[in-house]
Amino acid sequence: MLKVASYNMRKAIGTDRRRRPERILDVLGEIDADIVALQEADRRFGTRAAVLTPHLLAEHSDYQAVPVAVRAASMGWHGNVLLVRKSAEILAATPIQLPALEPRGAVSADVAVAGTRIRVVGMHLDLSGLWRRRQAKAVLDHLADASDAMPSVMMGDLNEWRPTAGCLQDFARSHSIAETGPSFHAKRPVGRLDRIMVSPGLTIAECGVHVSPAARVASDHLPIWALLA
């Protein structure tokens, strides 16, 4: 069994409007996933500095960040970060260029966790439905163009409110979508904006939204998770 999670951490600005990165790590500790996809993990302007500093991540978590950053101060690519356990082996990693009017991106990594090799994609898609579908195609093309096949899991904030239309329809042609439940807004979740999707070869054994007092205040999104077999 492999546990994965996705979390739009909103640059660690909580529902109390305070930026406290340590609360994000507390929530990740509660979930205890093997692989985590983070969105909005870097600041948006200036040097795009990481919100979870390398020191904070190293000293207060069991995770290492997959090296996909292009900017020296960043942890991710357009705010997208993949975290894996320190015991995991990172076999390959790359940022994915997405077509967009505003800065958007995705990240991909091949990792070995407890002897299992898996390809992981983290993403944060556009607010526009037309651009989301173009971005979904870019992600799916990236997976299809890989020289070696392995089971894949895609996670992130898709910004898709409709349950089966748009980019979800595109992803569903090749991946199963976990029924995790509504994750936005953290105070009163009604939207299923955050998604976990897996390819054939992976089975979703359990899944859900992580709800705790810490999660309700740490970001405006609740994290989602899935147990994969």
Task: Determine how β-strand 194-198 pairs with β-strand 63-65.
Answer: unpaired
Least confident of 96-110, 170-184, 198-212: 96-110
Strand order in the sheet with 63-65: 63-65, 81-85, 35-39, 2-8, 224-228, 204-209
Q: For residue 69, what are the CA distances in angstroms to 21, 86, 124, 197, 208?
A: 19, 18, 15, 24, 29
* Cβ pair 75, 95 in contact under 8 A: no
Q: How far apart are CA 126 and CA 105, in angstroms?
A: 9
What pTM was computed for the model?
0.96
- Superfamily for 2-228? Endonuclease/exonuclease/phosphatase (3.60.10.10)
How confident is the model over 214-226, as a mean pLDDT? Answer: 98
Q: When comparing pLDDT for 26 and 103, which is higher?
A: 26
Distance of alpha carbon 162 from its chain centroid, rounded?
A: 19
Whole-angstrom Cα Rg for the chain: 16
Q: Which element (helix H / strand E) includes 111? A: strand 105-113
Over residues 173-193, the pLDDT tens digits come to: 999 999 999 999 999 999 999
* Cβ pair 131, 99 in contact under 8 A: yes
* Cβ pair 93, 66 in contact under 8 A: yes
Is 217 buried (19+), middle (13-18) or exposed (0-12) by CB count in 10 A? middle
Number of neighbours of residue 22 by Cβ within 10 angstroms: 11
How confident is the model over 154-168, as a mean pLDDT? Answer: 94
Six token digits for residue 23: 């609360």
Residue 114 has pLDDT above 90, yes or no: no
Nearest Cα residue to 106 out of 51, 68, 153: 68
